[in-house]
């Protein structure tokens, strides 16, 4: 059952719920597919999440965009059904399937009603195992993808993201857009899509979680019928890469009134012993919305932006630390000065005990609130598996956060915050800024 | 691998049984001072969403101060008689919650999502800022800069948003729906403390507000808390009925071209004035929901069929209708042409498709699929209590009643093919519409 057990601590003026305790079952299907299940029978549907690790980074050399286009075509005809028949069948069952490719994985999110579960799973199976890649569907979806690529070339946020990725990762798959370029997508043939399908959607890189109206036995049978016919192995995973943060400001001229800014520096990943200290530090710096230092200095005190945020990025093959902000062209230089100054100040003088306690009560209190529906729980639990977190993570995560000390945070601030390598990409017509 | 069984099974689709309406577990009260209280129970997780909706949005502003409703929404996070500037959000965060607010044409709403045992604290703070806002002069200029940067981010940096803004202004001849919620930039720059205060004094009062509490909450306990904190506030006797300037008879088709160098993908979009959901009278709106689904609701819709499958004139098509609106709303069509297809050709193809749709009549099987999906949505929404909370809050703030919200699923199921065709003939009239082309500055196309 979906239970979030609350234990109340009296240590703070506002006592907080300390831990989420979702009852996750670890199951293995008769055919050998592992999955995590949370049974919740009060609403007659199931949320199912699949992750195939590797995703768009498994594109073959010279085939950038193949995985993304392949994934976009999974619901455009499968088995005996062409694209239109497949869409009608899905609608008839009121099921929803979504397929997405990103740098590290292909995600499949499905919701289906208990009353027609078997039929919905049969449809989804065809999409995963027997996609048709019909010529007319390829051309139709290719045109949509190219339209999106062209739009990205004139969108300041996309321009900034593309530039930053290229600077950090060069020729590594992380260094280019997973959708590919107009040229690379135009050159893709049906064989390339079939090859991408064989390379990416395989059982050796699969993670599964299900939440809702289904028993462990039924889920086991469901997974075998859904996934047993996928190939056992696929393409090798890409290698790790160290992002290159050169420091400085990099301006891309684009005629628009507000400059869009991405900034970043090296970071650490979930598996690092200092991860939770860095997580707390990031929360105080720019991770906690209106309460963060950057939001207070850049927005609340100076009115320079609508929003400024930082976040740690934990990819499968690289860890780093990013932020974003947008300010009018005549004010963005001041915005960047303030961010740099805050970076330096946090490194030099650290945080206060009060900031530490506020960040902890925020993070630990917010955690159980995430587990508030079948869809969100399925998403959280599949990502836990992908990140190799262990099934006890839900129960222990807040204890690990609470164990972070003021010395820990201030030590990682000194060791990790690096104003010299803090790198800015600015897209717009910024005044008083140049490369 | 052959999967004949899937296709064969589709024949049986109408045999599926679903509850006609989900059990919302909704309670409704009205306090002595006129404040509405709605409680939606979901006890699966110890989480609660606390919202206050004001029956006042940008369309209730006086002329000349566009954006003041949204500006005030920002200022409600500043100091009150009892809280320091930023204290409410900081308190929510220290309690592990999150909070925000949003402004639309017809309403302004504030919400917090917290552990269920923090509800009283939220109610105490929200009731305080309903009446005790201080509005310090030194915070006005800075926050005005923030909303101008918000406009930069949402609108000025986005040609499609600028296009929608211009198109909306052309659609409404008299109603304030033609003025953007965030405000016209030149008027935003002149927004004052007094303008915000005037709006606050007029509209922020318990008799103009709706409390929605959703999640792990007991209705009687919520009522008791509401009486303690909200029930003691004085109603505003000067509050007037929301009789805003209305649309005259529209007699002329409007056309516009919006050019911007930042446009990579041109498109054509047309919006028609359309009736909204009214209390006790939602049938036409229900038929328009079905019309939008049939015409442009997804992969199996008519526009997609004609413009993306049978011909490849478009890379995207859609039809949109949202009936939750206090006054006349709109029904919109969009066609994004394929490469080499001009906007004129795209518009012609759109018109031809609408015409053939009206001639062909309704595809009964497709209508059944849509109705089944709407019934299933009643199941899925029970997993998302925040969505349910928004549904009730938005409906009540848009002039509907609890009964209207609860009758809506059955009204949708009862829509007939004749009703859909009748409303299509009534609404899809170009004299009541604006057609806009969004195109790049360097495009040679003129017409």
When pLDDT is averaged across residues A109-132 and rounded to a whole number, the result is 98
Q: Give yes or no: residues B38 and B186 share one domain.
A: yes
**Could you tell me if residue A242 is inside a domain?**
no
Shortest alpha-carbon distance between residue B243 and chain A (Å): 33
Domain final residue pick, B229, B245, B279: B229
Joined together, the tokens standing for residue A424 give 């800015």
Is the pLDDT at A125 greater than 50? The verdict is yes
The chain A residue lying nearest B152, using CA atoms, is: A258
- Are A371 and A284 in the same domain? yes
Pairing type for strands A45-53 and B267-274 reads: unpaired
If residue A72 lies in a helix (H) or strand (E), which one and from where to where? helix A66-72
Question: Are A253 and A336 in a shared domain?
Answer: yes
Check if B73 is active-site: yes
**Other CB atoms within 10 A of residue A396 CB:** 12
For position A290, what pLDDT does the model report?
85
A183 and A256 together in one domain:
no
Per the rule left: phi > 0, alpha: psi between -120 and 50, beta: everything else, A247 is left
Note whether A17 and A402 are within 8 A (CB): no
Whether residue A13 is predicted with pLDDT greater than 80 in this model: the reply is: no
CA–CA distance, A75 with B298 (Å, rounded to integer): 13
For residues A118-147, average pLDDT: 98
Which of B99, B266, B379, B387 should one mutate to test binding to chain A, selecting the residue with the greatest count of A CBs within 10 A?
Answer: B379
Identify whether B11 is part of a domain.
no
Task: Clarify whether residues B45 and B146 are in a common domain.
Answer: yes
Is A374 part of the contact surface with chain B (CB cutoff 8 Å)?
yes
In 3D, which of A136, A278, A295, A117 has the Cα closest to residue A212?
A: A117
3-state secondary structure chain B: CCCHHHHHHHHHHHHCCCCCCCCCCEEEEECCCCCEEEEEECCCCCEEEEEEEECCCHHHCCCCCCCHHHHHHHHCCCCECCCCCCHHHHHHHHCCCEEEEEECCCCEEEEEEEEHHHHHHHHHHHHHHHHCECCCHHHHHHHHHHHHHHHHHHHHCCHHHHHHHHHHHHHCCCCHHHCCCCCCHHHHCCCCHHHHHHHHHHHCCHHHEEEEEEECCCHHHHHHHHHHHCCCCCCCCCCCCCCCCCCCCCCCCEEEEEECCCCCCCEEEEEEEECCCECCECHHHHHHHHHHHHHHCCCCCHHHHHHHHHCCCEEEEEEEECCCCCCCEEEEEEEEECCCCCHHHHHHHHHHHHHHHHHHCCCHHHHHHHHHHHHHHHHHHHHCHHHHHHHHHHHHHCCCCHHHHHHHHHHHHHCCHHHHHHHHHHHCCHHHEEEEEEECCCCCCCC
Asked if B327 and B57 count as a contact pair (C-beta separation under 8 A), the reply is no
> What pLDDT, in 10s, does the model give residues B58-99?
999 999 999 999 999 999 999 999 999 999 999 999 999 999
Report the pLDDT value the prediction gives residue B25, as an integer from 0 to 100: 87
- Minimal Cβ distance to A89: which of B6, B121, B376: B6
**What is the structure's pLDDT at A20?**
58
Provide the chain B residues 386-445 that lie in CB contact (below 8 A) with chain A. Answer: none
Does residue A177 lie in a domain region?
A: yes
Extended strands (E) in A79-231: 81-82, 96-101, 105-113, 206-212
**Which of B214, B229, B244 is at the close of a domain?**
B229
Q: Please give the residue range of the domain that contains residue A128.
A: 31-227
Gyration radius of chain A over CA positions: 23
* Whole-number percent of chain A with pLDDT over 70: 95
CA dihedral sign, ordered A119, A371, B111, B168: negative
Taking CA–CA distances from A327, the nearest residue in chain B reads B149
B152 lies in the same domain as B275: no
For residue A10, the model assigns a pLDDT of 27
A234-250 average pLDDT score: 97
Is residue A290 included in any domain, yes or no?
Answer: yes
Structural domain for B157, as ranges = 26-229
Question: Are residues A132 and A208 both part of a single domain?
Answer: yes
Number of domains chain A contains: 2
| More reliable by pLDDT, A5 or A95 | A95
Looking at the structure of chain B, the number of domains it has is 2
Helix (H, G, I), strand (E, B) or coil at A49: strand
- Report the b/e string of B379-415 with b at 16+ CB within 10 A: bbebbbbbebbbbbbbbbbbbbebebbebbbebbeeb
Residue B209 located in a structural domain: yes
- Put simply, the answer to whether A361 touches B376 (Cβ < 8 Å) is no
Sheet-wide strand order for B329-337: B254-259, B433-439, B267-274, B329-337, B314-321
Average pLDDT, chain A: 94
Whole-number pLDDT of residue B443: 65
> Among B1, B89, B338, whose Cβ lies nearest the Cβ of A143?
B338
SS3 content of chain A, % helix, strand, coil (to 5): 45, 20, 35
* CATH number, residue B262: 3.30.830.10
The CATH number covering residue A137 comes to: 3.30.830.10
Yes or no, beta carbons of A16 and B6 under 8 Å apart: no
Task: Report if residue A10 sits inside a domain.
Answer: no
- For residue A22, what pLDDT band results from cuts at 50, 70 and 90? confident
Nearest to residue A111, comparing CAs of A82, A127, A130, A90?
A90
Q: Cα–Cα–Cα angle for B45, B48, B53, nearest 5°?
A: 150
Q: Chains A, B: CB contacts under 8 A, how many?
A: 229
Tell whether B259 and B178 lie within a shared domain.
Answer: no
**In degrees to the nearest 10, what's the CA dihedral of B77, B80, B84, B85?**
30
Give the span between the Cα atoms of B44 and A3, in whole angstroms.
7
Residue A6 pLDDT greater than 80, yes or no? no
- Please give the C-alpha separations between residue B208 and each of B59, B108, B167, B273, in angstroms, as whole numbers: 15, 11, 31, 28
Kindly state whether residue B235 falls inside one of the protein's structural domains.
Answer: no
Catalytic one among B73, B143, B293, B419? B73
Contact B93 A291 (CB under 8 A): yes
Residue A3 belongs to some domain of the structure: no
Do A298 and A169 share a structural domain? no
Backbone angles phi, psi at A46, to 5 degrees: -125, 140
Mean pLDDT of all residues in A262-271: 96
Flag whether B242 is in a domain: no
Q: Assess whether pLDDT exceeds 70 at residue A7.
A: no
Point out the residues of chain B with pLDDT beneath 70: 1-24, 443-447
Would residue A50 count as lying in a domain? yes
What are the residues whose beta carbons fall under 8 Å from the beta carbon of A294, sequence distance 6 or more? A285, A286, A308, A309, A310, A323, A325, A338, A339, A342
A255 and A331 housed in the same domain: yes
Does A303 contact B at CB distance below 8 Å? Answer: yes
User: B-chain residues within 8 Å CB-CB of A119?
Assistant: 6, 9
Distances (CA, A) of A339 to A261, A268, A343, B369: 11, 21, 6, 53
Which residue of A lies nearest to B6 if distances are taken between CA atoms?
A119
For residues B285 and B413, membership in a common domain is answered with yes
Interchain CB contact of A4 with B (< 8 Å): yes
Q: What integer pLDDT is reported at residue B24 of this predicted model?
A: 63
Mean pLDDT of A82-96: 97
A127 and A84 housed in the same domain: yes
CA A332/CA A339 separation, integer angstroms: 11
DSSP A44: S
């Amino acid at each position: 059952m979906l239970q979030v057990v609350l234990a109340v601590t009296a240590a703070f003026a506002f006592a907080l719920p300390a831990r989420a305790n979702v009852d996750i079952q670890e199951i293995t299907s008769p055919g050998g597919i592992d999955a995590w299940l949370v049974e919740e029978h009060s609403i007659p549907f199931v949320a199912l999440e699949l992750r195939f690790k590797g995703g768009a980074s498994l594109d073959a050399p010279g085939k950038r965009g193949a995985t993304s286009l392949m994934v976009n075509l999974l619901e455009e005809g499968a088995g005996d059904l062409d694209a239109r028949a497949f869409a009608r069948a899905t609608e008839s069952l009121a099921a929803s399937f979504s397929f997405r490719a990103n740098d590290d994985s292909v995600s499949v999110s499905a919701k289906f009603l208990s009353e027609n579960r078997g039929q919905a799973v049969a449809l989804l199976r065809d999409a995963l195992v027997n996609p048709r890649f019909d010529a007319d569907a390829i051309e139709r979806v290719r045109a949509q993808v190219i339209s999106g690529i062209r739009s990205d070339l004139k969108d300041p946020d996309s321009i900034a993201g593309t530039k930053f990725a290229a600077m950090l990762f060069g020729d590594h798959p992380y260094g280019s857009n997973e959708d590919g370029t107009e040229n690379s997508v135009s050159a893709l043939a049906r064989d390339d899509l079939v090859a991408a399908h064989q390379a990416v959607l395989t059982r050796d890189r699969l993670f599964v979680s299900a939440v809702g109206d289904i028993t462990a036995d039924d889920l086991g049978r469901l997974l075998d019928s859904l996934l047993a016919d996928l190939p056992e192995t696929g393409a090798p995973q890409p290698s790790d890469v160290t992002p290159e943060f050169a420091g400085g400001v990099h301006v891309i001229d684009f005629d628009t009134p507000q400059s869009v800014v991405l900034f970043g520096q090296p970071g650490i990943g979930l598996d690092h012993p200092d991860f939770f200290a860095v997580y707390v530090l990031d929360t105080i710096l720019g991770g906690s919305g209106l309460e963060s230092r950057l939001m207070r200095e850049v927005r609340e005190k100076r009115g320079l932006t609508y929003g400024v945020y930082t976040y740690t990025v934990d990819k499968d093959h690289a860890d780093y630390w990013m932020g974003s902000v947008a300010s009018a062209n005549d004010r963005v230089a001041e915005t960047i000065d303030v961010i740099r100054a805050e970076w330096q100040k946090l490194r030099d003088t650290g945080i206060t005990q009060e900031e530490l306690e506020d960040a902890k009560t925020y993070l630990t209190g917010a955690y159980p609130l995430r587990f508030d529906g079948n869809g969100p729980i399925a998403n959280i639990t599949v990502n836990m598996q992908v990140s190799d977190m262990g099934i006890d993570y839900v129960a222990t995560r807040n204890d690990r956060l609470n164990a972070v000390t003021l010395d820990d945070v201030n030590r990682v601030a000194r060791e990790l915050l690096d104003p010299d390598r803090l790198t800015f990409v600015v897209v717009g017509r910024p005044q008083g800024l140049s490369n | 691998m052959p999967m004949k069984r899937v296709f064969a099974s589709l024949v049986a689709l109408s045999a599926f049984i679903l509850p006609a309406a989900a059990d919302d577990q909704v309670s409704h009260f009205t306090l002595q001072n006129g404040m509405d209280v709605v409680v939606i129970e979901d006890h699966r997780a110890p989480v609660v969403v606390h919202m206050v909706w004001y029956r006042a949005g940008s369309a209730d502003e006086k002329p000349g101060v566009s954006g003041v409703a949204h500006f005030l929404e920002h200022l409600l996070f500043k100091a009150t008689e009892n809280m320091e500037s930023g204290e409410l959000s900081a308190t929510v965060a220290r309690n592990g919650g999150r909070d925000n607010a949003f402004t639309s044409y017809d309403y302004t709403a504030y919400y917090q999502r917290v552990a269920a045992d923090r509800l009283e604290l939220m109610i105490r703070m929200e009731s305080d800022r309903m009446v005790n806002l201080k509005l310090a002069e030194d915070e006005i200029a800075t926050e005005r800069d923030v909303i101008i940067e918000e406009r930069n981010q949402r609108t000025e940096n986005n040609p499609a948003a600028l296009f929608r803004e211009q198109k909306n202004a052309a659609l409404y001849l008299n109603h304030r729906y033609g003025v953007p919620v965030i405000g016209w930039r030149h008027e935003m720059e002149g927004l004052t403390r007094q303008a915000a205060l005037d709006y606050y004094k007029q509209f922020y009062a318990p008799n103009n507000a709706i409390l929605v509490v959703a999640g792990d909450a007991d209705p009687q306990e919520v009522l008791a808390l509401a009486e303690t904190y909200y029930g003691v506030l004085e109603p505003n006797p000067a509050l007037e009925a929301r009789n805003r300037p209305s649309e005259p008879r529209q007699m002329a088709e409007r056309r516009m071209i919006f050019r911007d160098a930042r446009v990579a993908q041109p498109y054509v979009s047309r919006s028609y004035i359309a009736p909204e959901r009214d209390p006790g009278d939602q049938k036409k709106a229900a038929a328009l929901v079905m019309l939008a689904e049939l015409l442009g609701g997804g992969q199996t819709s008519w526009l997609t069929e004609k413009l993306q499958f049978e011909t490849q004139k478009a890379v995207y098509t859609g039809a949109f209708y949202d009936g939750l609106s206090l006054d006349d709303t709109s029904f919109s069509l969009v066609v994004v042409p394929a490469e080499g297809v001009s906007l004129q050709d795209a518009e012609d193809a759109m018109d031809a498709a609408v015409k053939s749709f009206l001639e062909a009549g309704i595809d009964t099987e497709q209508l059944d699929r849509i109705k089944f999906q709407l019934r299933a949505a009643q199941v899925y929404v029970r997993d998302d209590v925040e969505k349910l909370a928004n549904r009730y809050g938005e409906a009540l703030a848009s002039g509907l009643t609890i009964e209207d919200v609860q009758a809506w699923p059955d009204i949708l199921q009862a829509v007939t093919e004749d009703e859909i065709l009748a409303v299509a003939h009534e609404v899809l009239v170009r004299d009541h519409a604006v057609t806009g082309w969004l195109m790049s500055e360097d495009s040679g196309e003129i017409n």
